[in-house]
Structures are given as C-alpha cells and as structure tokens.
Structure 1
Amino acid sequence: MMKERAWTDDFLNTMREQCDPLADETVRNLFQQGKVPATNALMKQLVVNEQVSLEMLAPPLRDYFEQTGQLPSWAEPRLILQGEELFGRHGPSIVTALFCASLPSCYAASKLVQVLHLTARLESNPYRRIVETMQMIIDVMAPGGLAQGGRGLRSAQKVRLMHAAVRHLILQRGTWNSEWGQPINQEDMAFTLLTFSTIVLRSLDRMGCVLTDAERRAYYHAWRVVGHVMGIDARLMPETPEEGARFEQVLQRRLFGATPEGQMMTRALLQLMEHITPGNLFDGLPATLMRHLMGKDTAEMLAVPASDWTSLLMGPLQALGWVSHEMVDLHGPGAAKLAGMFGRRLVEGLFWVNRGPERVPFRLPTTLRDSWDVRGWERA
C-alpha cells in the first residue's frame, strides 16, 4: 500500500514518466507485424460476443489477454458483489455523477486533458470516446462483469490496450510536449480511476443518496480491482476510500489548472448532455449539476456557465408532475430523485447517440434496464 507520507512530488513526478510496459510491448508487436486491422475486428467481437475464444487471437494479443485476465490475490468477491449491488440501486445517479463530476474532473487536470484533447481531434465523431468510457464503466460494474471471462473484465483489458495504442500513435506523431510527462502515464491513470470511485462517492453524497460505510468500501474496492486489471501501479491505489479521497486531493493540487483544452472538452460534454436528453426540459441542468458536484472553483476553471436552471424549468417540469419544490433544491432531500431521473434520461440517450459507422451499439444488461426503469432501448 502507498502510504500518505510517500505521496511526494518527487515520487509522483517519476510516475508521470511510467506507463504500461506489458500493454505497450503488445501494441508495438502488433504494429510491427501489421496485424492492427485484424486485431481491431477481433477485439470488437471479443467484448461483444462472450463465446469468442482467445485462441482466435494472434499470439501477442492472446498472451496479453491471458496475462492481464486474472484478478489480484487481494480481490474479495463479496465486496465486488456488494459494489455491483450499489451500482444496481444507484446507477442513474452514478451516471449523473460520471457525466457531471468524473469526466469534467479529468478535463480540469491540465496535463491529462492534453491527451484527451488530442484523441478527440483524431476522432471523426466527437462523442465516441465519452460513450465508450460509459460503456466500459457499465460493463465492469454490471452483475458478473468482473467474473472470470466476464464482459467487464474483457472491456477493461480492451481499454488498457487502447490506451497503449493511443500512446504509440501520439508519440509516433512527434508533436507531444514532454513537459506533460508520458501520454496516459501512471499518475494520470491513477487520478482517472479515482474519478470513477472517490469522486462518484462524494457526488452521491452531494446528491442526497444515503450510503453505508460498508457500501462505500465495497464500491471503492471494486474499482481498485479494475485499476489492477488496467495496469495501474499498486502504489497508486490506496486501500480504503478515506485514503483514496486524501490521495485525490494530493493529485488535484498537482494536476488541476485552467486550460483552453479543458474548457473545450467541457463544452463538448455539456453539448452532448443537452443533445441526448429529450426536448428542452433539462436545458441548463447539466451545468447546474456540474457546479454543484464539483464546486465553484473547479467549475470556474472549466468555464462552466452559470445556469439558473430552477427559474427556467421549474414551471414546465412541475406542470408535468416530474418535480417538486423539494427536488429542485440540490441541497435538499429530493435532489437524489432529480439526479436519478436525469441520469436515467442520459442512459436512454446513449442508446441512440451516433458514434459513427460500424460502431457496436450501446449495451445495458436486462437486469439494469429493469432496475433503472430505462426506456427507449428497444428503438435504438
């Protein structure tokens, strides 16, 4: 375990130069052997079709999946199951937290956002990576996602390899600024993992969701397991949510800063949320939630617009019977219901948002569709 006293700037600076030797070597071999197109096709099938055998993969890729497909010795199935159960109960609110706190927190990290911005510029569809990130999160936290051969385990392995491919392509271009450290380095990966765990847990608190200490430990533990699968250094994954929250503060001090790229990515994220939620009823709510969940300083850093959502939409939503005065008070007891309703609309929008030609449709297991009361997936 990485003790708090060892979270020094010198140590973390060295982590900015460390990446993922196993995945990076696999990608180098695939490029050298000219197997990238075939690999892309097989990896798509590997995640979508649970019956696809690793024996179908080229040796470098097969070796990679075999070596990275084991959970750590410290993984506790009971805690993973409890983390999945929390995700099942609070999933729509967690989706709101991911869109309105986790992703924008990554954009506030002035060096981390550079690789996200470069990747977005290389994409023909500006929303593709956001949707694929949400897909991985749902895959790993769905029931059985982290079981041996589970869809979530394979999804995490695929994203880990994709990170290595992005590193390879960016460094090949020769335009990367070495002052940012290595692209998708260990420190940036560790912070990203915390946005999915500690930042989500804190956001649920701010939305009025009531969690037990045991539920917090379980959810955090499940994400530590995901971090292991994705190749994050064990010294960068504190054991408890309390230690994780302290480490998050250390990393925010080191990483946060206003950048044009971060503000641009935040605008794109807000536009996506406005685009995939129905009609105009939720206009302004994403910005309001970002400010509420992240706090004024980070929101200002990202140029999140000030939005008086309640005065704009209180009347129309009340007329539909969707909200009460209690719900639109984001500090009140009804806020969790509003956040869950908004998260449900976001999930429904993910089913039909265009990610470009030949992209795998967004997937949500039947158990989660039912427990979250998600509609519209049949028409996607």
Structure 2
Amino acid sequence: MNTLDLYTSDRLNALRDRQDELADLAAEDLVRYPEWVPEINSWESLPETLPEKFPSSLLHYFTFFYQPPPPVDAVGIRQTQLFFEKNSSLVLLLLGFYSLPFTYAFADGAEVLVRSKRILENPGKRLAETALFVMECYRPDAFLVGTGVLAVIAKVRLIHALSRLFIRKYSPDWNPAWGKPINQEDMLATNLTFSLLVCRGMERSGVRVSPDEREGMLRYWGLIGYYLGIDPSFLPKSSKQAFELERLIRKRHLKASPAGKKLMQSLLSYYRQEMLRPELSPFLEAILAHYLGPEIGGVLGIRTTRPIPDRVFYILLSSGVFGLGKSPASFPLLYKQFLIGTKKSLGSEPRIALPSLSR
C-alpha cells in the first residue's frame, strides 16, 4: 500500500492506541531491576555482547539494535550529516524557536509534556538534552561506523517508555480521550519536527534547502524513527508524504489548551531570563510568531504584529540559542562549544541518561 493511502483519520486514530510494546516491556523490567540502569547509562556504544543476566525483556529490547538495519544509502547519510554540520547553529536554533513550541500546540500530546516537572521547571535542560540528542544523531559516520548512535537512541526510546509507565502509574487524571501517552501518532508528529519543520524553518530564515537536501533529511529521520520504535510503514518517504501527514495531524489535533500555553510560557520565561541577548528580548514573541506562523502562534497565545528589524535576525542567527555563533567549522568544535555554552548557562553539561530508579 502507498504510504499516502495510510494517512487517514481512521488509521491515525488506531495509532493513538498503539505505543511501543518492545520498549514498554523493557521499561517494566527496569523498574523491577533498577540496578541495570547505571550499567546501561555507562554505555557509550552497544557492548559486543549483552549481559548474561539481563532480564528477558531487556535482552529482547537491545537485541533489536543488533539486527541489520533497513537498507540505507551510505552516501545520502553522509551528505545529510554534512548538511547539518554546515547549518548546525541554525538547526539547533530552530529546535528552540520552532520545533519544540510546535509540539505544545497539539493539546492531547501537550498533556504528556505538562506532566513532567522537569520540563516546566527547567525547560533549558530539556532543550539542551534535545539538542544533544540531535547532535549525537548527526555525528560523522553515525549509522555507518560503530554503534554509539544506537546506544543513544536506545536510551531515549527507554526514557519514552519509562515516561509512559510513570504516567500510567502516577497520573490517575489521564483522560483516555487524549489517546495513550506517547503513542504512535504523537511520535510520528515529533519526528516531523526534526525533518520537515527544520527545513521549513530554514527557509523562513532565508536559507534555501534544495529538494535533495529535504528528501535526505526525511530519509535520515525516517531511519532514526525506525530505531525509536515508530511503525516504519507510516514514516513519510518523500516531501509530499511528509507535507500531507503534517497537514492531517495539524487538522486533527491543533487546539489551544491550558497545558500548551503553560509550556509555552515556561519556555518564554526561560528565554527572557537565561538565554537571549538583552537586545533581543523585546522581539522574542515576534521571532516566535515569525517561525510558528499565525495559526500555531495563536493557539499558543503568541499574538504580535511587531515588525522585526533585520538587525534582530542578524543578532539571533549569529548568536544562536546556545551561543554557538555561526556554525563552527567542524563537528568536534561544534560539540565542544555546545558543551561549554550549556555548562555556562545551566551549570552542568547535558547528558542523555535513564532516570535513577528505586525499588
């Protein structure tokens, strides 16, 4: 069946009841055997062999990452990594000014995010961790040499599963009408924010993205989505498919909500207090409105027609969300500058790690 034919409301409704059984079973075992959390967190790449005493569900979970991947275009993967390296500062900026707030505009999915005190009380840390995940995914030769990127994705997928488990256990107010937490449709929507939306945001920044670059981004995040547990049959394989999927999800779920506005205000507060250069602060909502557009911005309570002087965009694009300036000349330099900048801003370097668990 053509992927476009799958994008119907009935099929997406079914996805709202589907999560990620492989990871969810592993998360239940992690809660039963929390002593494995430090071991997994210590992995910078997948071990050559899995621990013999691993609980069966964790063994099955990690075995997935040792299986041969779906067919990949090595040349295309490297080209997309170089595209990121060239535009890294702008891509990371768009995470904060477009991709992340975009997810707040979908009322049902926002209910998951608003239940995380860490997101509300420390949005800067959440943003830095997301940026770190993106950079780990774009490491030169990721998916081609070594298993470092697979270890990172495996941890993130388990973090999602633990979040579902905690909501099920500790959120009795969860409304089934919202769908199951972190369901397949919401994961599809989030995947689009790293590919389709980043390309769209680059063009709204005056940077041309060629059709080949756009298709390369979609294929790249399709591979990441596969490893994150998204049903591969629903992942868009072309710009047309991605456009149609985003349009349908927007039609189905774009809605103002107290949760979305609370998340947006938390992020705005963080930008005002911690991140932006003072001369940018008066234009903060106008910048967000520029990227989000009137429909998304209105849902989140971002209502401004204030014009943005060219110098404001120059300052924004030359300073970046993490103080990276223009994209560094190489990935190692980018990574080093990012860690230095986030440590200066947040007091510690971000890391991707499973939360500590107790019996």
Classify the TM-score, shorter chain.
0.7 to 0.9
Q: Does 1:13 align with 2:13?
A: yes
- Work out whether residues 20 and 231 of structure 1, in 8 Å CA contact, stay in contact via their aligned partners in 2: yes
Match of 1:55 in 2: 50
Which amino acid in structure 2 is aligned with residue 159 of structure 1? V
Encode CA deviations 1:140-170: one digit per residue, 9 max, x unaligned: 0121333354433221111111111111111
For the pair 1:290 / 2:285, whether they are aligned, the reply is: no
Distance 1:372 1:305 in 2: 35
Question: Are residue 77 (structure 1) and residue 74 (structure 2) matched?
Answer: yes
What RMSD in Å do the two structures reach over aligned CA positions? Answer: 3.0
* Alpha-carbon spacing, 1:136–1:69, altered in 2? closer, same or farther (3 Å): farther
Q: Alignment identity in percent?
A: 26
Q: Which moved more, 1:165-174 or 1:221-230?
A: 165-174
Unaligned runs of 5+ in 2: 345-359
Equivalent residue for 2:89?
92
Asked if residue 117 in structure 1 is aligned to residue 114 in structure 2, the reply is yes
CA contact (8 A) 1:26 1:64 kept: yes
**Partner of residue 352, structure 1:** none
Please report how far the alpha carbon of residue 128 of structure 1 lies from its aligned counterpart in structure 2 after TM superposition. 3.3
The offset of 1:105, in angstroms, is: 1.0
Provide the residue aligned with 2:322 in structure 1.
346
Q: CA deviation at 1:39?
A: 3.0
2:15–2:183: 8 Å Cα contact kept in structure 1? yes
CA contact 1:238–1:244 (8 Å) conserved in 2: yes
Counterpart residue number, 1:320 = none
- Inter-partner Cα distance in structure 2 for 1:372 and 1:125: 22
The residue aligned with 1:142 is: 139
For the residue of structure 1 that corresponds to 2:17, the secondary structure is coil
Q: Could you say which residue in structure 1 is the equivalent of 2:251?
A: 253
In structure 1, C-alpha distance between the alignment counterparts of 2:328 and 2:37, rounded to whole Å: 24
Deviations 1:343-377 (A, max 9, x none): 2x42559xxxxxxxxxxxxxx99932536994882
> 2:356: which partner in 1?
none
> Does structure 2 retain, via aligned residues, the 8 Å contact 1:142–1:365?
no
CA contact under 8 A between 1:70 and 1:148: conserved in structure 2? no
Could you say which residue in structure 2 is the equivalent of 1:271? 269
Runs of 4+ off more than 6 Å: 121-124
Residues 217 and 240, structure 1, Cα contact 8 Å, conserved in 2: yes
Unaligned runs of 5+ in 1: 315-324, 329-334, 350-363
**1:69-126 superposed Cα distances (whole Å, 9 cap, x missing partner):** 4463232221111111111011111112111111111100110110011123688645
Match of 2:148 among 143, 146, 151: 151
Any conservation in 1 of the 2:107–2:260 contact (CA below 8 Å)?
Answer: yes
Q: Cα deviations across residues 257-282 of structure 1 (Å, max 9, x unaligned)?
A: 00011011111122223344354122
TM-score, normalising length: structure 2: 0.84
User: Structure 2 residue aligned with 1:64, among 53, 61, 66?
Assistant: 61
| Inter-CA distance 70–245: structure 2 relative to 1 (3 Å threshold) | farther
TM-score, length basis structure 1: 0.80
Q: Distance in 2 between matches of 1:177 and 1:260?
A: 15
Q: State the aligned residue count.
A: 339
Distance 1:166 1:228 in 2: 19
State how far apart, in whole Å, the 2-side matches of 1:94 and 1:182 are: 30
Distance 1:53 1:3, change over 3 A: closer
Contact 2:139 2:331 in 1 (8 A): yes
State how 1:319-338 maps to structure 2 within 5 Å: 325=310, 327-328=311-312, 338=315
| SS of 1:293 mapped into structure 2 | helix
**How far apart are the structure 2 equivalents of 1:161 and 1:365?**
32
Does the 8 Å contact 1:140/1:151 carry over to 2? no
C-alpha contact (below 8 Å) 1:83/1:215 kept by paired residues: yes
**Residues 169 and 77 of structure 1: is their aligned pair in 2 closer, same or farther, counting only changes over 3 Å?**
same
Deviations 1:178-200 (A, max 9, x none): 11111000000000000111011
